[in-house]
Chain A
Amino acid sequence: MTPLSWYLMLSALLFTIGVLGVLLRRNIIIILMSIELILNSVNINLVAFSYYLQDLRGQIFAVFVITIAAAEVAVALGIVVSLVRNKSELNVEEIKTMKG
């Protein structure tokens, strides 16, 4: 049987890879994809605990997380489309009109 800590380790690894993607990449599409990685790592964590503690609430929470993530991606990509239409730039470091 796989111990719970293996699933938590996988969740921590995916979380950290997502955080590194958000911090290191400058392309806005890749940053949004890294945020999806973070949300997936949280889902693995929730479902692992739901299985090991035999509590269904973890899976219900994961369903809500998936739904919110889908809604967030829709709005975020709408923002990206408007951004590219107005400025034609995918690099987050060049988007600094509101800076300062």
Chain B
Amino acid sequence: MEQIFFLIFAALAVASAIAVITLRNPVHSAFFLMVTFLNVAAIFVLLRSPFLAAVQVFVYVGAVMVLFLFVVMMLDIRKATMERFVQGKWRFLVIILGVVLVYEINKVFRRSSLAGQTISSERHLDGSVSEIGTVLFTDYILPFEVISIVLLVALIGAIVLGRKEIK
């Protein structure tokens, strides 16, 4: 049963990802990227990580994609919508090389002993907020504080970059 759900969400995620990179209108691509993120959040739930699934929806779908859509609405995309989506004489070669890349990654992890591993019967993690919170604020407090400084720097940078020049 879990396999069927995984296949549904994986197929939807891959199809939306292909739509993101092939559609001409950036607004359409942004919406399909939202669909991809929602399917990835569903896959996180399948992997027993409800906290991460909620964070994915809040941050990626609710903040990052809304930011993308704001910026796309501000810009004039008419010229971008009209041109051919991919040009250049090497495009088929690049797509074929992409397929080769997937095959090679597949070959690498099939060789390892972890490839066929199914979940062991003693599952003690539930990915809940309390579990992640306990580890995050004790063992990983340093990266947590560094991340807060990174966010502060990004905030200042985005404000400075977005400011209008006052002549």
Contact among A3, A40, A51, A84 for B40, CB-based, below 8 A: A40
Query: B63 contacts A70, CB within 8 Å?
Result: yes
Chain B interface residue count, CB cutoff 8 Å, equals: 85
Query: A64 contacts B71, CB within 8 Å?
Result: no
Query: B80 contacts A90, CB within 8 Å?
Result: yes
Residue of A with least CB distance to B56 = A66
Q: How far is the CA of A43 from the CA of B39 in the complex (A)?
A: 13
Query: B85 contacts A5, CB within 8 Å?
Result: no
Residue of A with least CB distance to B131 = A56
| B143: A residues at CB distance < 8 A | 64
Residue of B with least CB distance to A54 = B125
Q: 0/1 per residue, A4-20, Cβ < 8 Å to B? A: 11111110111111111
Contact among B6, B71, B98, B147 for A6, CB-based, below 8 A: B6
Q: 0/1 per residue, A59-78, Cβ < 8 Å to B? A: 11011101111111111011
Query: A78 contacts B114, CB within 8 Å?
Result: no
List residues of B (87-131) whose CB comes within 8 Å of A's CBs.
87, 91, 94-95, 98-99, 101-102, 105-106, 109-110, 114-120, 122-125, 127, 131
Lowest 6 A-B CB distances belong to which pairs? Answer: A78-B161, A21-B21, A71-B154, A12-B105, A1-B118, A78-B158
Name A's B-contacting residues (CB within 8 A): 1-10, 12-21, 23-27, 29-30, 32-34, 36-37, 40, 43-44, 47-48, 50-52, 54-56, 59-60, 62-64, 66-75, 77-82, 84, 88, 90-91
